[in-house]
Structure 1
């Protein structure tokens, strides 16, 4: 399959089209797909799925892992996290997406952007966009989650924005302990500092994670950083 541009560029083009013409994102995606020779975005996404990084990365995760997915805005960190969640569900596991950034509609639109209809995994996928999201909240909501459940938290730097919530470090440690006890995989979407310069290195790394509050990044078992078409995955040594 040969596309006119990398798929993440096509997704961004569709987002611009959606904004400029005031149409739903899924309609804009379908329009872009037709210019690439596909009848619908779902067809294009299905063809591209076999070569997506998420399909290669997910088998490297283990129950109990704490994962960091980081990128600058517009580089696909949310879509990557959703693609990983889809890989989990395709493997028969549940997935949950906790967002302090998006609405449920936003999340479902982004699922459609990767060619997944909300009804496709209805019994396996949960979206929670409560303003109360914190480590304690996630632990409570996921208390009955079966082993292997893939949990996304969107995003790391927002967890302690409310004064009544514990420090970020305390929350991440609590979620790490919970993930190991329950056999869950917990992935945090993370912002990258504006000082990151792609001219110096192709992808950001742990040194570029934006940390307004202290956090030991060694708590993460796996990391995935993105920039343009580059994806760098690392496991803790």
Structure 2
């Protein structure tokens, strides 16, 4: 990520702009973020935090892990997940991105947004946006994936959207067993429930995960929640 100045200096610029233009600070922050190439300050802040911490977080992951990455829209959960995939590829492993939401161009644009050249990872990165994505589909697609491959699944709540797919609980259990057997790291991007109130809690947690269908969240042994640039990582146990 390339900014024209450190984040603390950009905040100072926003405060000056707020006073000079007589606009709210949050509006001034967003204007500064747009100037830096981001849609909002929250995205810039999340990106800055993610770039600084992705390496640290990746170092705490191990083959067989099921990781839940959750945030409200626009707070960096997809970017963080891609940052983790990039860290895996930098270490010599592979990265796979399964999505029911994005196009390949969308994902490549996000690579560039975090300062990564997609060409650098051409032989180690796989993108898949098949409409058939489910646990069984993922298991089949990763049949020959080497140990240490980091897999991003975008996103958790869509896995059982189609009626013909097994219930969400069964799919996550299947993927947990598969990850353990093959030594893969599975990162699930997750929505946060609308009831989450940042005024009451600065960062969401496991209790704020949106669950339209039953799911035992203890199946995930590591979690990462984000909000307005702040990141909370926890490991079970």
Q: Calculate the TM-score normalised by the size of structure 2.
A: 0.82
1:200 Cα deviation after fit: 1.0
Report the structure number with the largest CA radius of gyration.
2
Partner Cα distance (2:131, 2:85) in 1: 22
User: Which residue does the alignment assign to 2:27?
Assistant: none
User: Which residue does the alignment assign to 2:20?
Assistant: none
Q: Which runs of 5+ in 1 are unaligned?
A: 18-31, 33-44
1:2 Cα deviation after fit: 1.6
Q: Is the 8 A contact 2:94 2:148 kept in 1?
A: yes
Partner Cα distance (1:174, 1:215) in 2: 13
Distance 1:139 1:60, change over 3 A: same
User: Which residue does the alignment assign to 2:37?
Assistant: 14
Once superposed, what is the RMSD of the aligned Cα atoms? Answer: 2.4
Regions of 4+ moved over 4 Å:
48-51
User: Which residue does the alignment assign to 2:6?
Assistant: 2
Q: Which runs of 5+ in 2 are unaligned?
A: 12-29
1:207 Cα deviation after fit: 0.4
User: Which residue does the alignment assign to 2:117?
Assistant: 117
Q: How does 1:43-192 map to 2 (within 5 A)?
A: 52-192=52-192
User: How many residue pairs get matched?
Assistant: 208
Q: Calculate the TM-score normalised by the size of structure 1.
A: 0.82
Q: Is the 8 A contact 2:51 2:83 kept in 1?
A: no
Does 2:228 match 1:224? no
User: Which residue does the alignment assign to 1:25?
Assistant: none
